[in-house]
Amino acid sequence: MLLLKIQERFWKAYDPLTEALTSSNITLTFQRNLEAHFRELLTGKCDRLLQVQDYAQAQYLHPNYFSTVIKCKTGKSVNNWIAEKTISEAKAMLARSSASVQEIAANLGFKDAGHFSRFFKKHTKLSPLSFRQRITSE
**Domain range for residue 63?**
15-137
The answer to whether residue 84 is domain-embedded is yes
The answer to whether residue 1 is domain-embedded is no
Q: With b meaning 16 or more CB within 10 Å and e meaning fewer, what string describes 101-134?
A: beebbbbbbbeebeebbebbeeeeebebeebbee
Domain count for the chain: 1
- One-letter amino acid for residue 107 of the chain: N
The answer to whether residue 131 is domain-embedded is yes
Does the global pTM surpass 0.85? no
pLDDT tens, position by position, 60-118: 999 999 999 999 889 999 999 999 999 999 999 999 999 999 999 999 999 999 999 99
For residues 138 and 37, what is the distance between their CA atoms, to the nearest angstrom? 31
CATH number at residue 90: 1.10.10.60
